[in-house]
Amino acid sequence: MMSDKKTRKLMCNVSGKPLFASKDYFAKKVEVAGSEDNLYKTYICKEVKTLAKKGYTISDIRESVEIYNNYKCTLSDNQLKEITGSNTSLRINNCEQPTIGVIKTDPAVRKFLTKILKK
C-alpha cells in the first residue's frame, strides 16, 4: 500500500517522463486505476495522452515528445488505446494543419481596381 512519503514518483509508460504526485493526487489516481500496481503499469503523461487520443501511434508519439533517459516503452499500440479509451484511427481533421482563409476585398477597392485595370 502507499507509504507516508509526501510525494510519489510516477513514470510515463511511453516517454519515461517523471511526475512527482502529492499524496492526495496519487491516492485519487490509484482510486481511478483500481490499484497502485495497475497505476504504475498504465500511467501515461498528459502530453502523450493527448496525442494518443488523436489517434497517433506510439512510434509517432515518441518522435514528437521528449524521451527521458532513453526510456524503452513496453506498451503496444492496442494497450495505449485501451488506456486512453481512444479506439479511433487518425482522422485528417485531427492533424494540425494550417487553416486556409479567404480574403475578401472591400467593394470600393474592388471598383477602384477594376477601373484602373481597364486602362
Q: What is the pLDDT of residues 94-115, one digit of tens each?
A: 555 556 665 667 788 888 888 8
How many helices (H) and strands (E) the chain has is answered by 6, 2
Whether 45 and 38 have beta carbons less than 8 Å apart is answered as no
Q: Does the pLDDT of residue 67 top 70, yes or no?
A: yes
- As given in the structure block, the three cell numbers for residue 4 are 507516508
What pLDDT digit, counting tens, does each position of 43-61 carry? 988 898 888 888 888 888 8
51's CB contacts (< 8 A; 6+ apart) are: 60, 61, 64, 65
Q: What is the pTM of this model?
A: 0.62
